[in-house]
A and B are shown apart, each in its own frame.
Chain A
């Protein structure tokens, strides 16, 4: 089971309230992001630190970027044609927090 599988299981659980889902999402997100091995690079930027608090992920690093990067209510993976996790709707994903961080950095 990947973090995305856990995520989608919560997402599809109709017995949970929105509040309960958010709490579980936060737990899944924290576990996924805190497993990331540091440092790593996104293009020319070096990611040196990740902290998780509630629905927020704080990312710090070195390089020309408006640090810190703060991600609110972020996912634990991204869609990718070559992704190794398949969602029920047929879309393919990477269950990888590093890709989420990279996506956020490149969107800025």
Chain B
């Protein structure tokens, strides 16, 4: 048996959504929309692009935005004297500054009677480009966040947009006066990447706007031929981002008031050191709580599932390798579970009680990957209060303990041996644990015969010289050898023994009714119950019966 303790090699916590959500939206609503969220994601309803050189940029939606839609406004200006503002909207991102070249993105949650006309204000007339976009789908639940903003990016012909899990995004570029041509999308990589360039204008030499939708780990590159420095910024709804919070560690579970914690956690252990031919008899996962904060669900068990078929990307990936929907979790094998309301103290390690299936879900000879989720994340039914857990963000703080051994199956062999005249043997029928033996060889010299018998034995050899015969018997033994000389005969008997040898001299004769000569070892104690003649030497004690 071997006990292998394997410390974690990789750890990842993923949130299904990053950033705050509409305060009126609960986790229950989010869960109710999971299917559409993970499939259709953010949808772009409509957009309008307008350009001009007036004081106040303005654009008009083709129809009244739906109540609850997320509205995005991208404003680009050159040689502006002050920052352009948009009343009633929230600025998400800004690159550049008023008076030089400015790119800014604003957003707003559409009301019940949202105006179709959007007007920004500024005190100075200058070239501008303004695009307004209405987003639906997941965007009706979650707020957009700023993803990146770069002021005065050096002149370049190629810019890669980090599309790390963005469901929808807006990339805006502005350059000052100077010559440039229309930018074009040139490259998309990543699963399910889908890009749409929905606005492009070179009016007033000031702006280019690119919108795109993508899924997981997409990278969008567009080519911009320009002799001038540019500003760029990206906003959107990234998903599958890390659930890591400094000091808190990786978080899992569901908060009912917002979606900032819709996380699950993946653990990876290198179990290649457990040979595939070994039999695993026990497996236990030990998890460590966060370094400076410890949360544990009061009404949910924290369950561990096998996701060995899915590699957990360590860094720089937003692929949904960890996070699972309730339907997907239900299809997994649960290998461990810790009850709701269990103790959970900062910086403390806890062994998760294993399910019987754990031992068969250790990926021997390869990597074992496990998913941590709460009961409600499996069932999809929320308990009504926040049910969160956090774990240390160091992979090596968590470990897997596996007890294993190599078991060899001995094939059944049927064999027949015939030995009738061995000249000299060390032992014959020495230990018979469960089988019976019947042998009658002719042996000239032997050390022991029928030494330890747990089964039945029947031996009648012809032996000229032997050291021990039928020494320890716990079963029945029948031996009728012809022995010239024997040192020990039937010494410890726990069963019936029938031994009628013809013996010339025996040194250990306390068994059957045979006349004998006893030679005692040094300082022996002898109890005699019958009329006996004994030769005593050295300092032996002889205790005789009263008669």
Which chain A residues have a beta carbon within 8 Å of chain B's beta carbons? 56, 65-75, 79, 81, 87, 89-92, 103-105, 107-108
Contact = CB atoms under 8 A, between A and B. Distances in A.
A56 B9 CA distance: 14
Contacts of B247: 89
Contacts of B349: 79, 103
Given A71-B5, A72-B273, A66 B403 contact: yes
Interface of B: 1-9, 247, 270, 273, 282, 284, 286, 288, 291-292, 346-349, 351, 396-397, 399, 401, 403, 405
Given A66-B1, A92-B347, A107-B5, 8 more contacts: A66-B405, A73-B6, A74-B399, A75-B7, A75-B397, A79-B349, A89-B247, A107-B399
A68 to B, nearest CB: 6
Given A56-B273, A79-B288, A72 B4 contact: yes
Nearest to B346: A91
B7 A72 contact: yes
Instruction: Tell me if A's interface is mostly helix, strand, loop or mixed.
Output: loop
A66 B399 contact: no
Contacts, number: 77
A72 B6 contact: yes
29 contacts: A56-B273, A65-B3, A66-B1, A66-B403, A68-B3, A69-B2, A69-B4, A70-B3, A70-B4, A71-B5, A71-B7, A72-B5, A72-B6, A72-B7, A73-B270, A79-B349, A87-B291, A90-B292, A91-B291, A91-B292, A91-B346, A103-B349, A104-B399, A104-B401, A107-B5, A107-B284, A108-B284, A108-B401, A108-B403
A80 to B, nearest CB: 9
Contacts of A90: 291-292
B406 to A, nearest CB: 12
A79 B2 contact: no
A74 B3 contact: no
Nearest to B402: A108
A30 B68 CA distance: 60
For B2, B3, B9, B346, the residue with the greatest tally of chain A CB atoms inside 10 Å of its CB is B3
A90 B346 CA distance: 11
A107 B282 CA distance: 11
A79 B5 CA distance: 17
A105 B398 CA distance: 15
A79 B347 CA distance: 7
Contact of A107 (B270, B396, B397, B401): B401
A82 B292 CA distance: 15
Residue of A72, A103, A104 with highest tally of chain B CB at under 10 A: A72
A70 B3 CA distance: 6
A5 to B, nearest CB: 16
Contacts of A81: 347
A56 B272 CA distance: 13
B3 A104 contact: yes
Contacts of A72: 4-7, 270, 273
A56 B273 CA distance: 10
Contacts of A103: 349
Contacts of A71: 4-5, 7
A41 B119 CA distance: 78
Nearest to A71: B5
Nearest to A80: B347
Contacts of A79: 288, 347-349
